[in-house]
Structure 1
Amino acid sequence: MKQTIGCYHAHYSNIDYIQQAMEPFDVELVHFVDPGLDRRKSDAAFPVETAQARIQDTLVWVESAHVDAILVTCTFFTAHMPDSDALPVSIPVVRIDDPLFEAICAEGRPPLLVFTNPATVDGTVRRLIQYAEGRGMELPVRTHLLEGTFDILMRGDKETYLSKVTEGLMNLAAEHPDHQLWAAQLSMAGAAGRAEEAAGVRIGDPLSELSRYMEKGLQLKPRPRTS
């Protein structure tokens, strides 16, 4: 039976990435986007508790739309969600950085996580360290913020954003050959692919690991062939 996955995004630009990643599987995707929360999260008068309450309320709303599982594609959202055993929903919830964390822990070289959104850095790193510790690992995590790039995406100029992020990733790959680079946000996946091809080095990203992780975790079936 076809499964229905509710996809909870901070920005509309993430929809295409998820559509592509889930194309091989017999699933229906229902998209829920909250750009207002993404814009307000850095406001001084917008407490983190309000953001957390909004995220939890939306998870409950998505579950009520008759979906079988939820995929949360924003790292800010995942960083401010409760632990899995405290989530306010009864269906499986996949966080976009779970496949990324699994791949980082399996990699031999020390990780360098690259971000464009400053509001996601601390929460993502905290979750990664907790994830690694749960597997008996201690990771020497380094981070780098490509400053000013996320504002470009928020203005809707996706192509300039991809160009700037691609350039930044290529420069970092050259400067840190002893580290494994990871584009830590879904919005960076396209740039990671471009930089990887141009620089000739692997640059990990959440999307490249997502399909395998979702197929295994949700036992997804292949999309039927059409004659």
Structure 2
Amino acid sequence: MKKIACLHAHHSNIEYIERAFEVLEIELIHFVDPILSRRIESDKGFGRAQAQNKLKNQLKWIAESNIDAVLITCTSYITLIQKEEFSITKPIIKIDEPFFEMLCNVQGPQTILFTNPSTAPGTVERLNRFAQQKQKSIDIKVLIIEDTFELIISDSCFLGLFNFTYRI
């Protein structure tokens, strides 16, 4: 059975990934590091090079844990990856690349919604590079749904959702 290590910035992603892969014969091993993304967003003294070094060390450590590939679900982490600097012995799968592929195959205007404003610029930049590499033209509009990201990742949101679901 193949083993995929999943690197998340928040534990809430685990359930989504488990559901997406439940029909496959794959063992998922989850690693959660919320601190790196928080430092990237809030610590002005913590530079990009420091964040890249921390991520590179994490990925090397994860790759040594008897896995077949690494799936990164955090777009903040994905934007830090430079292929030439992040060569590890296992393939790195970036969660948004299948989405990019789909967007590149749609003709006409598209709207992309973001809940985390800090990830939008880097993700859109990566999407545009991805489209260029595939020699595709994309027409996208970016909208940010304000004040939702913190709500989504807060435990109180999930408790409220659980209570609502339980009552139904």
TM-score, with structure 2 as normaliser: 0.87
Residue in structure 1 matched with residue 96 of structure 2 by the alignment:
97
Higher helix proportion: 1
Greater RCO (CA < 8 Å, at least 6 residues apart): 1
What's the CA shift string for 1:141-166, capped at 9, x where partnerless?
A: 2211111111223432334998xxxx
Other structure's SS at 2:100 match: helix
Instruction: Check if 1:48 corresponds to 2:53.
Output: no
**Equivalent position amino acid for 1:28 in 2:** E
Alignment check: 8 A CA contact 1:149 1:161 kept: no
Whole-angstrom distance in 2 between the partners of 1:28 and 1:120: 28
For structure 1, the 5+ residue unaligned runs are 163-227
The RMSD of aligned alpha carbons is 1.8
Q: Go from structure 1 to structure 2 and tell me whether the alpha carbon gap of 1:82 and 1:161 turns closer, same or farther (over 3 Å shift).
A: farther
Residue in structure 2 matched with residue 80 of structure 1 by the alignment:
80
Runs (4+) of structure 1 exceeding 4 A deviation are 159-162
Residue in structure 2 matched with residue 207 of structure 1 by the alignment:
none
Residue in structure 2 matched with residue 61 of structure 1 by the alignment:
61
Alignment check: 8 A CA contact 1:9 1:73 kept: yes
**Equivalent position amino acid for 1:35 in 2:** P
Other structure's SS at 1:80 match: coil
Q: Go from structure 1 to structure 2 and tell me whether the alpha carbon gap of 1:109 and 1:160 turns closer, same or farther (over 3 Å shift).
A: farther
**Identity, % of aligned positions:** 35
Other structure's SS at 1:62 match: helix
How far residue 27 of structure 1 moved from its aligned partner, in angstroms, is 1.2
How far residue 97 of structure 1 moved from its aligned partner, in angstroms, is 0.4
Q: Go from structure 1 to structure 2 and tell me whether the alpha carbon gap of 1:121 and 1:160 turns closer, same or farther (over 3 Å shift).
A: farther
Alignment check: 8 A CA contact 2:107 2:138 kept: no
Alignment size in residue pairs: 160
Alignment check: 8 A CA contact 1:79 1:124 kept: yes
Residue in structure 2 matched with residue 152 of structure 1 by the alignment:
151
How far residue 88 of structure 1 moved from its aligned partner, in angstroms, is 2.6
Q: Go from structure 1 to structure 2 and tell me whether the alpha carbon gap of 1:18 and 1:141 turns closer, same or farther (over 3 Å shift).
A: same
How far residue 140 of structure 1 moved from its aligned partner, in angstroms, is 2.6
TM-score, with structure 1 as normaliser: 0.66
Whole-angstrom distance in 1 between the partners of 2:79 and 2:156: 26
Other structure's SS at 1:7 match: strand
How far residue 139 of structure 1 moved from its aligned partner, in angstroms, is 1.9
Q: Go from structure 1 to structure 2 and tell me whether the alpha carbon gap of 1:54 and 1:161 turns closer, same or farther (over 3 Å shift).
A: farther
